[in-house]
């Protein structure tokens, strides 16, 4: 089946794996000829330039004075219904159960059951909100009433079933990277601006939330830098950033660590690095590790959540228990001290990213789900 669809997409448009994946998926669907309507509170940051077949509808929140809290969720539901009607959308693909799936289900009630709702679970709505009794019934409702539900790792599916007592079908749709954007680049010149030729570069990219355990990144680097000449690059910003800047100073590592801040396009900076560090406490997938893998940069991190589904220990990177920074540092040193092993691991990364997590596979998988819910298989 290859008829073209009209798809509404709602996601968190700011930094974070779910918004990035939703935006990239929308761009790829548009390239395949589908009409894609982003319905969000601000422009998704990876949307970038003008694209044929992509439309953007901004959700404006009413500031009417009787509202103690501006009702974003109701404004979104109403906008989803409005766009669905006006543009004759076939379906809404919403990323995150709360509030997006709930809003989409309300829009569906307003528009009629021909409008289908596909919900993708990315993590936080299950692993954090799912534990909150006051909201778990609503999340369960959103999941059970969606026409299809997908999740980005087997671990997340398992957790959804256990925490929320869900037994409906959930499709596994791993995250993906666009191979035209993430590939190994020759960055010799740029690298010279960050490190001396004998120095190795370690990188960490995140939203600096406590769950990312950025402190562990510093501990790993402090250990590694005593054993091999190396530097650390941090990309991104978030709640723990200032604490981490202070920590780096306290440890006397300021000369070896660069905080690059938030970057809109990380594909080039990743290629500067020799390894990626991802020691998270929880991670439903770990998109940055995949972005690194596609650029030929192995990840050393924790075996939390969905990370082991992405990183095959000993083949495309190395994993240790959450908080075991010593073992992680040993893995970094072993890998970076053995050129033959390093080249093999890099090759494994490139193959795995290309054959297992590539944009073509995932886009087709989502299309099949759309056709299935619309009864057009
Ligand atoms: N990200 C950026 N710029 C930054 C920090 C993060 O684009 O400054 C992106 C990562 O490249 C990744 C996403 O696509 O945000 C974070 O995903 P995750 O690793 O939290 O799943």
- pLDDT value at position 221? 98
d(CA 175, CA 184): 19
Query: Are 156 and 197 contained in the same domain?
Result: no
Query: Cβ(371)–Cβ(377) under 8 Å?
Result: yes
* Helices vs. strands in the chain: H and E counts, helices first: 15, 13
> Where residue 121 falls among pLDDT bands split at 50, 70, 90?
very high
Distance of CA 327 to the CA centre of its chain: 26
User: CA nearest 107: which of 125, 88, 83?
Assistant: 83
* Residue 260 included in any domain: yes
DSSP 3-state of 121: strand
CA of 235 to the centre of ligand 1 (A): 9
Query: Are 34 and 126 contained in the same domain?
Result: yes
* Residue 183 included in any domain: no
- pLDDT value at position 137? 92
* Residue 252 included in any domain: yes
Query: Are 157 and 204 contained in the same domain?
Result: no
d(CA 271, CA 120): 29
* Residue 367 included in any domain: yes
Query: Cβ(178)–Cβ(359) under 8 Å?
Result: yes
User: CA nearest 156: which of 172, 142, 141?
Assistant: 172
Ligand 1 atom nearest residue 212's Cα:
20
What percent of the chain has pLDDT above 70? 99
* Residue 349 included in any domain: yes
CA of 145 to the centre of ligand 1 (A): 30
- pLDDT value at position 130? 66
For all residues of the chain together, what is the average pLDDT? Answer: 94
User: CA nearest 218: which of 207, 198, 202, 195?
Assistant: 202
Query: Cβ(9)–Cβ(36) under 8 Å?
Result: yes
Is the per-residue pLDDT at 359 higher than 60? yes
Judge if the beta carbon of residue 292 lies within 6 A of ligand 1: no
DSSP 3-state of 87: helix
Query: Cβ(244)–Cβ(215) under 8 Å?
Result: yes
User: 109: number of CA atoms within 13 Å, CB side?
Assistant: 8
* Residue 136 included in any domain: yes
Angle of helix 339-356 relative to helix 287-294, nearest 10 degrees, comes to 110
> Where residue 17 falls among pLDDT bands split at 50, 70, 90?
confident
Is the per-residue pLDDT at 2 higher than 80? no
* Residue 10 included in any domain: yes
Work out the average pLDDT over 285-305. Answer: 97
Query: Are 259 and 239 contained in the same domain?
Result: yes
Report pLDDT digits (tens) over 262-288: 998 899 999 999 999 999 999 999 999
* Residue 1 included in any domain: no
Work out the average pLDDT over 328-353. Answer: 98
* CATH number, domain with residue 164: 3.40.50.2000
Pairing of strands 171-172, 54-58: unpaired
- pLDDT value at position 150? 98
DSSP 3-state of 186: coil
Query: Are 220 and 237 contained in the same domain?
Result: yes
Q: How many domains, in total, are found in the chain? A: 2
Judge if the beta carbon of residue 156 lies within 6 A of ligand 1: no
Report pLDDT digits (tens) over 301-331: 999 999 999 999 999 999 999 999 999 999 9
DSSP 3-state of 6: strand
Is the per-residue pLDDT at 98 higher than 80? yes
- pLDDT value at position 15? 63
Is the per-residue pLDDT at 96 higher than 80? yes
Question: What is the ipTM, given to two decimal places?
Answer: 0.97
Query: Are 89 and 105 contained in the same domain?
Result: yes
Query: Are 277 and 326 contained in the same domain?
Result: yes
Query: Are 15 and 41 contained in the same domain?
Result: yes
> Where residue 55 falls among pLDDT bands split at 50, 70, 90?
very high
Is the per-residue pLDDT at 1 higher than 70? no
Report pLDDT digits (tens) over 138-149: 999 999 999 999
Judge if the beta carbon of residue 306 lies within 6 A of ligand 1: no
- pLDDT value at position 287? 96
- pLDDT value at position 77? 98
Residue 57 domain boundaries:
6-176+358-373
Is the per-residue pLDDT at 19 higher than 70? yes
Report pLDDT digits (tens) over 192-208: 988 999 999 999 999 99
Judge if the beta carbon of residue 170 lies within 6 A of ligand 1: no
Query: Are 131 and 231 contained in the same domain?
Result: no
Pairing of strands 275-278, 6-10: unpaired
CA of 270 to the centre of ligand 1 (A): 11
d(CA 316, CA 357): 13
- pLDDT value at position 330? 98
Query: Are 366 and 316 contained in the same domain?
Result: no
- Where would I find the H helices in the chain? 17-31, 72-87, 102-111, 124-127, 133-145, 154-164, 188-194, 214-227, 241-250, 267-271, 287-294, 307-310, 325-336, 339-356, 359-373
End-to-end CA distance of the chain: 6
Judge if the beta carbon of residue 14 lies within 6 A of ligand 1: no
Tokens of 157: 């599916």
Is the per-residue pLDDT at 151 higher than 80? yes
- pLDDT value at position 14? 78
Nearest residue by C-alpha to atom 3 in ligand 1: 263
Query: Are 165 and 193 contained in the same domain?
Result: no
What percent of the chain has pLDDT above 90? 84
d(CA 223, CA 328): 10
Candidate from 176, 178, 203, 207 with most ligand 1 atoms within 8 A of CB, to mutate: 207
**Residues counted in the chain:** 377
Query: Are 232 and 143 contained in the same domain?
Result: no
């Amino acid at each position: 089946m290859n008829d073209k669809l009209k798809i509404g997409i709602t996601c968190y448009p700011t930094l974070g794996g779910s918004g990035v994946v939703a935006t990239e998926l929308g761009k790829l669907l548009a390239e395949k000829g589908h009409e894609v309507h982003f319905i969000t509170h601000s422009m998704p940051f990876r949307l970038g330039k003008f694209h044929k077949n992509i439309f953007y509808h901004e959700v404006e929140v009413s500031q009417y004075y009787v509202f103690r809290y501006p009702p974003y969720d109701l404004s979104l539901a109403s906008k989803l219904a409005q766009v669905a009607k006006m543009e004759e959308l076939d379906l809404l693909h919403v990323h995150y159960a709360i509030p997006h799936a709930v809003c989409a289900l309300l829009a569906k009630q307003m528009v009629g059951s021909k409008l289908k709702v596909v919900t993708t679970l990315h993590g936080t709505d299950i692993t954090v909100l799912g534990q909150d009794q006051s909201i778990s019934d609503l999340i369960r409702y959103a999941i059970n009433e969606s026409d299809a539900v997908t999740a980005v790792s087997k671990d997340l599916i398992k957790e959804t079933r256990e925490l929320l007592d869900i037994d409906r079908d959930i499709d596994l749709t791993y995250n993906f990277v666009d191979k035209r954007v993430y590939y190994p680049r020759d960055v010799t010149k740029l690298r010279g601006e960050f490190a001396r030729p004998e120095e190795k570069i370690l990188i960490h990219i995140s939203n600096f939330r406590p769950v990312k355990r950025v402190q562990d990144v510093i501990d790993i680097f402090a250990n590694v830098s005593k054993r091999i000449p190396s530097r650390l690059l941090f990309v991104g910003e978030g709640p723990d950033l200032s604490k981490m800047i202070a920590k780096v100073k306290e440890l006397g590592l300021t000369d070896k660590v660069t905080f690059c801040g938030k970057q809109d396009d990380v594909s080039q900076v990743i290629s500067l690095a020799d390894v990626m560090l991802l020691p998270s406490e929880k991670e439903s997938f770990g998109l940055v590790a995949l972005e690194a893998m596609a650029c030929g940069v192995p990840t050393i991190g924790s075996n939390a959540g969905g990370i082991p589904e992405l990183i095959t220990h000993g083949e495309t990177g190395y994993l240790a228990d959450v908080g075991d920074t010593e073992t992680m540092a040993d893995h970094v040193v072993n890998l970076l001290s053995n050129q033959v092993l390093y080249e093999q691991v890099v090759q494994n990364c490139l193959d795995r990213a290309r054959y297992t997590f590539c944009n073509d596979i995932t886009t087709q998988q989502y299309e099949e789900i759309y056709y299935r819910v619309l009864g057009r298989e």
